[in-house]
Amino acid sequence: MRIGFFTDTYTPQINGVVTSISLFASELERQGHAVYIFAPTPRQPKDGPHVIRVPSVPLVFQPEMRLAAAYNARAHSLVKRANLDIIHSHDPFAIGLFGLAMAKRFRLPYVHTYHTLYPEYVHYIWDTWLTRELAERMSRDFCNQCDTVIAPSTKIREALLSWGTRKPIVTLPTGVNTAEYCERDEAGVAEFRERFGIKPDERLLTFVGRLGLEKNVDALVDAMNFVRTPGTKLMIVGDGPYRADLERHAKKDKVADKIIFTGYLNREDVTHAYQASDLFFFASLSETQGLVVGEALASGLPVVAVDDLAIADAVTDDENGFLVPEDPQALAHAADRVLGDAELSRRLSIAATERARELSIVHQTHRLLGVYEELLEGRPARRRTGARPRTRRIRVVRQLRALSSRSDQLVRQMRARFRD
């Protein structure tokens, strides 16, 4: 099968969407399928021949994110030459819309994974009830143009249904490369703890993720005021726009000596971070799946998290972790329970690895291929190069260019509002 991934979020960014794309692409290729990734510039040294970069510029209010051109002639030509069987988008923005136009152009099935609860992220632009409602409406309208929508969690599925999505929705979490996390590297773990000044007898609560306001890491910092197990530290793995605020918060609460900020880590060091820890500590309520939770489970870590529908798909209370109210004392109490009871910790750890096997990337990729195959069954013959009349082709190009113009206008409006 020849599969096109269309995404406005890709390397060099580091986040759950990029990880999901990379995991599925690697496993699909391992199983003998060809995956073409259409993503924004800049091109990266590790890009293979099947990574096609679309011209883009950084967003003024979020420089690590990119705004891509809604149409690119070279990418259009490469879509034709790739002779794709299916198009799968991972963002509803410029490149996702370009993928939708290409799917219509060549009569290909169009699948979309709704990775991000966009109404939860409008605070980065302009946080009002109107912008939230607009984000919901745009999400609904986009999904209703797809053949099938993939929801990484029950939480996403319910949100999409409540917004009025009428197209089929398949709940399919991103899989985890379980082998990467379950094989413990004792020497690597020892070196990791030494590098970050973690003493052999210190206990470690670990958060992994992008440091944005929506991740609610403040609740974990507050919880450190109430953790009673001696020698316990909180390790915050990741970076982002909210890091400086978290560091100020820790100093203000006089818990800075109990918190380690590692910044971004490479994949090997992230694995060592999980394996060096005693439990995974998580308070986000904006997750669509919480891929890092699956990674923690694969590492054998019990999870202590704020009770949220996305996390509850992977964590069962008092089975492989604890789900608690959004309260720092409740988080701290649950952490102390795990740290203070070796038998409980062992039981939760065994259940964590068992649950991770169900979430393996191999299993989830088989499910994804099932979605593709169902869409392809009985599909009318797709249009090959040159099959569409020239006048219709010109109309598609004009529509894409008009969309690009509207996108540019929207960005200018956002920039003006941001300066105000």
Q: Pick one of 3.30.2010.10, 3.40.50.800, 3.30.420.40, 3.40.50.2000 as the CATH number of 179-359.
A: 3.40.50.2000
290 touches 282 (CB < 8 A): yes
DSSP state of 32: T
Percent of the chain as helix, strand, coil, to the nearest 5: 50, 20, 35
Q: What is the pLDDT of residue 117?
A: 82
Rounded to whole angstroms, the Cα distance separating 323 from 317 reads: 5
Domain with CATH 3.40.50.2000 in the chain: 2-175+362-419, 179-359
Supply the mean pLDDT for the chain.
89
Rounded to whole angstroms, the Cα distance separating 220 from 261 reads: 13
Query: Amino acid identity of 31?
Result: Q
Q: 2-175+362-419 — its CATH code? A: 3.40.50.2000
pLDDT digits (tens, 9 = 90+) for 73-130: 999 999 999 999 999 999 999 999 999 999 999 999 999 999 988 776 654 555 555 5
Q: Tell me, rounded to whole angstroms, the distance of Cα 240 from its chain centroid.
A: 14
Instruction: Enter the tokens of residue 320.
Output: 């492989």
- At residue 418, does pLDDT exceed 50? no
The answer to pTM > 0.85 is no
Instruction: Enter the tokens of residue 316.
Output: 């069962």
β-strand 148-151 against 110-113: which pairing, if any? Answer: parallel
Cα dihedral 313, 316, 319, 320 sign? positive
Angle (CA) 78-83-84 rounded to 5° is: 100
pLDDT digits (tens, 9 = 90+) for 139-178: 999 999 999 999 999 999 999 999 999 999 999 999 999 9
> In the chain, pLDDT over 70 holds for what percent of residues?
87
